[in-house]
Structure 1
Amino acid sequence: MSFRQQSAPYPHWEFVHASSGDRLRVVPERGGLLTEWLCNGREMLYFDQERFADPAKSIRGGIPVLFPICGNLPNDRLPLTSGDFTLKQHGFARDLPWQIALLSDQSGVMLTLSDCAETRKAFPFAFRIQMEVRPLSAALEISISITNTSESVTEPMPFSFGLHPYFKVSDLSSTAVEGLPERCFNHLEMAEADTAMQLARLTQGIDFLTHASGPVTLVDEQDGTRVQLQHHEPMDLTVAWTDPPRAMVCLEPWTGPRQALISGDRKLVLGVGESSLLSCRYSVS
């Protein structure tokens, strides 16, 4: 096992698993971003390093973290008992510096984000997120603990949480997604749609949400690689997204749909001192 800071090809922390040699690259200063997951000698994640080098541009690649909302809110406004707050798409966790540490059993890394003056301007609650990332045998396991640490704010803390992993594929035209239900919600038109018809548009660009009853599998038909998302309630919604011509597919576990904090649909709430545990696993075959 090794865990050390590296300067190339960009500043990051590198974790290498003792037995498998699988590698993680993490940039805690840029939203706790996992930029690389090398599994069985194959890089699983898509990462646009040139775009990443320009902090003025949004990141395309790795595994961004979505909190305290997934998607966006009308006019970016979050109405709370204490007033209205401006909260932009996907929240702020993906833009802030996180803390990183080696897990006590040396099986992976712990990423931690706590509230600060900047977050309280958009979201008045005190909180702590602890995310354990473990590269297991042919798998990546992510466990998340979210705690409402507020003292001055007694209103329960509403939130959604999601991950936005970009998986590298050989060619969008030879990529499939298995395990999805027949119907989905198309974010591009904000309407229900036929899932098969959406998947037929991978090369044109898709963005839809589903609630699968079991695992969802991304299949790279050209090289035979299968990446299976195993997610658990409440983080058991799946968003599929492509951004052609990029050779990647995002397979994202979310706890709630867009605007959940307004509609109440699958909105999660934590009282002062309460915690929520979330988890998902990506396995490779």
Structure 2
Amino acid sequence: MYKIESFEKQMFAMYQLSNEEGTSWITVCPERGGIIIGYGTKGQEKLYLNEETLYDRKQNIRGGIPILFPISGQLPNGQYQWDDKHYHMPNHGLARIHPWEVIETYADEEKAFISILFESSIGTKEAYPFDFEVIFTYTLKEDQLFIYQTYRNVGSAPMPIYPGLHPYFKANSKLVSIDTDAKTYYDYNDDQTKDFTGQIDLEKLKEAVVLENKRAAVDAKFDDVDVHIEMGKDFRYTVLWSEQGKEFVCVEPWTAKTGELGHQDELIIVEPKDAHETWVSFQVV
């Protein structure tokens, strides 16, 4: 029987979903951007987390699996134009810097899940002038983490999105082998498209690199870890990033490349009163 426990840590409400043996789990902090801060399999934590950044509301969290919505990545000077008006948007959007609401929890013999909600407000409309409801359902089944996503447009104007996820996996090595069937990758360090040979060394790279997925599953390997990622067809890109001196590697499913609100080539447009649904799953082998 799976179980769900809620507890408080440094004034934040936490929810932990786990299997009966306690060998697989996910831990969620809804107040801090709906973030997953822990994902364990075979009794071992797989995610990196800088707890100081988690408990300091003024900082962006370094670690866990931040939610990127309505955009993934950055915008030139943090600005974009829509319908002849100028707006400012933080890096990676708004979801990770606003609290989410828990709307449902459930556990039985096969799985456990928690559903959380992020809604538009006066505060979000200053940066993103759309009415929305975003629901994420985190499901733990055996050692697999499923993230089901619903992006609902409750307004009267078409709504542009290109969401993503930003998981930080524990890693000692920065040498990442990744199987996506991609032949090239784009290097944001020098803005060049380069041949992809199956491995990328992130050790001395300050900025990220991005590969276009040629199929709906990606396998990334570093140290003795093998991360298997499956995803809906919207997640066309895998972004790789790390930080010198920090023991993590980010393997990030994105739906478009950075700056897309300016390019507007690959936007997902959610029509009024409609919803866009998609999903990603992670499994550490």
Give the TM-score normalised by structure 1: 0.89
Q: Are the equivalent residues in 2 in contact too, given 1:229–1:281 (CA < 8 A)?
A: yes
Please report how far the alpha carbon of residue 256 of structure 1 lies from its aligned counterpart in structure 2 after TM superposition: 0.9
1:6 paired to 2:11: no
The equivalent residue for 2:225 is 225
Change (3 A) 1:25 1:104: closer
Structure-2 separation of matches of 1:99 and 1:14: 12
**How much has 1:268 moved relative to structure 2?**
0.6
Q: What is the CA-CA distance between 1:25 and the residue it aligns to?
A: 1.4
Change (3 A) 1:55 1:104: closer
Counting matched residue pairs gives 278
Q: Give the counterpart of 2:64 among 62, 65, 90.
A: 62
Residue identity matched to 1:124:
P
Q: Which residue of the partner structure matches residue 203 of structure 1?
A: 203
Distance 1:234 1:95, change over 3 A: same
Maintained 8 Å contact 2:164/2:255: yes
Question: What is the aligned counterpart of 1:146 among 120, 136, 151?
Answer: 151
Establish whether residue 238 from structure 1 lines up as the match of residue 243 from structure 2: no
Higher strand share: 2
| Distance of 1:195 and 1:237 partners within structure 2 | 14
Higher alpha-carbon deviation: 253-262 or 273-282: 253-262
Contact 1:3 1:13 in 2 (8 A): no
Superposed displacement of residue 5, structure 1: 2.6
Q: 1:53 to 1:212 in 2, by over 3 A?
A: same
Residues 55-94 of structure 1: matches in 2 within 5 Å? 55-81=57-83, 83-94=85-96
Structure 1 residues 1-285: aligned runs within 5 Å:
1-8=2-9, 11-19=12-20, 21=22, 22-81=24-83, 83-104=85-106, 107-150=112-155, 154-169=156-171, 171-172=172-173, 175-179=176-180, 181-196=182-197, 199-200=200-201, 202-205=202-205, 207-214=208-215, 215-221=217-223, 224-285=224-285
When the two chains are superposed, the root-mean-square deviation of aligned CA atoms in Å is: 2.1
Counterparts of 1:212 and 1:259 in 2: how far apart (Å)?
Answer: 19
Q: Which structure 2 segments of 5+ residues have no match?
A: none
8 A Cα contact 1:257 1:265, kept in partner: no
TM-score, normalised to structure 2, is: 0.89
User: How far is the alpha carbon of 1:10 from its aligned partner?
Assistant: 7.0
Question: Percent of aligned pairs with the same residue?
Answer: 24
Say whether the 8 Å CA contact 1:15–1:109 is kept in structure 2. no
Work out the CA distance in 2 between the residues paired with 1:93 and 1:28.
11
Encode CA deviations 1:125-147: one digit per residue, 9 max, x unaligned. 10000011112222111110000
Aligned CA distance change for structure 1 residues 253 and 173 (closer, same or farther; 3 Å): closer
Shift of 1:273: 0.4
